[in-house]
Amino acid sequence: MEFGGGLLHQEENALDRHQSGYSETVSLEYETRPLLSGSGEGADAASEDGLHPEKAVYRPDYDGAIDSSKETPTVQQGTGENANTDEKAEPETGAAGVVGKGAKSAKQEDASSETKSEPNAKPETKAASEPKSGKVLYLTFDDGPSRYTPEVLDILKREGVKATFFVLGEHVEQYPEIAKRIVEEGHAIGNHTYNHVYEKLYGSFGDFASQIMRTDDAIYEAAGVRTTLVRAPGGTYANFDKGYFDALEAAGYRVHDWNVDSGDSKRRGVPAAEIMSNIKESRIADTLNVLLHDGVGHEESVKALPQIIRYYKELGYSFEVLSDEVKPMQFQLADRPKWSRGAVRDKDREMLVSFGKQLDASGERNLSPYREPALIIHRGEETLVLESDQYELIRGVIHVPLLTLTEWMGGEAELDEESGVIEAFMLGKRVFWMTDTWPPKEEDESLMMDVPLRATLSEFGLDITDYVITSERREVWIEE
């Protein structure tokens, strides 16, 4: 057997996870192409062209901080009344309008639709087929965590999607390990007050502020992060007045409503089919904030979730998480609030503002560091999910574990302990790798070798048919 060299560009070489050295595939010579460039010009060109997604950086002093009374988009609120208030659900807002021109339902959308681009939308990474169009979707879940939240997280991981969870403080205290998992898996977590009791929250701002602070502390205790994200139970329309908005903003919080209501809380036990129908009949805009629930009584929402995600993917939306840098979407102020209360008292406002300033001064109120998204590889009906620490993106080239890839595709990989040669057999073909540092420093180290995805698939006669690479989503489709 002869082991040739120089068959691959250096950036397409296999890389050992423990940095023991590069390896080279031995097979027929072929043209190597960085995954992100799609041009065969080399990974360096891909990097220079800016194809690497930029990492999100949390900046509490961001210059684009929103003045909710002046610049924040407002959404016209509908007048539906929720029949399920005992389950702590949002009021029906199916008639809510969308900021910007040309807001239509999916059934009405056509090529002549005029929409506004979200000014803070992240730049997209150009893919081979360019399936993205700059449309951004924020998938949000209220009222958790609950026993259904782990299943929601499993679905999001499988679909390669990130979401934002507005949690109740009392539920965080009940399920701290789930709150921690939300953050660890790269999702955003927001404050939905402590107990969702409208009479307390909207009877006086003092009670609302106390619940915000109590929930903030519960999140920090469970997940180790502070959040500036707030969603008002029932939404802000007719519940908030300008005093609520101003006090929360002064304390450093960003209040987010929504512009797509899944209708999963308008009554008890809304079936998955009806939820999906509500989604499809909702307005379409460049930026969507979709309201769902993962609390008790919302198992049908979990059933509908995979179909909801597929629907919006087909419409070309990228899924992102809310952050301090995202301009909040808010309902307009009602002419006549539904609650009889006085103006926000100075002492209640100062209590919350002082709390926020203390968090900022201590450095606690920083969102968790950016996590690379999971890599989702599709082949027919099969899906391989690699978490951020299981693959690498190096100068425009995706590297994946050889053993994991081979076994997932029904093949085998074996190591010759005397020579350090790895033989992979798959789809009727054999490919060999040889490390240039042998023996390894640790047992089985060489089988942890990362190999370039496109180049390795090409060795076995396969190609990548499509992919999406952004800061929040990484998916690859390979031919069957």
Which of the residues are catalytic?
A: 142, 293
The pairing of strands 412-415 and 375-379 is unpaired
Report in angstroms the alpha-carbon separations of 58 from 200, 223, 366, 369, 474.
33, 17, 7, 8, 21
| AA identity, residue 284 | I
Report in angstroms the alpha-carbon separations of 169 from 89, 145, 248, 439.
15, 9, 17, 53
Say which residues have a Cβ less than 8 Å from residue 137's Cβ, sequence separation at least 6.
287, 288, 289, 290, 312, 317, 318, 319, 320
Q: How far apart are CA 424 and CA 139, in angstroms?
A: 41
Angle between helices 205-223 and 242-250 (to 10 degrees): 40
- Buried/exposed code over 197-222 (b: 16+ C-beta within 10 A; e: otherwise): ebebbbebbbbbbbbbbbbbbbbbeb
Q: Residue 429 is inside which H or E element, if any?
A: strand 429-435
Instruction: Report CA 26 to chain centroid distance, whole Å.
Output: 39
Q: Residue 331 is inside which H or E element, if any?
A: strand 330-331
Q: How far apart are CA 53 and CA 179, in angstroms?
A: 27
Q: Is the torsion defined by CA of 318, 305, 144, 223 positive or negative?
A: negative
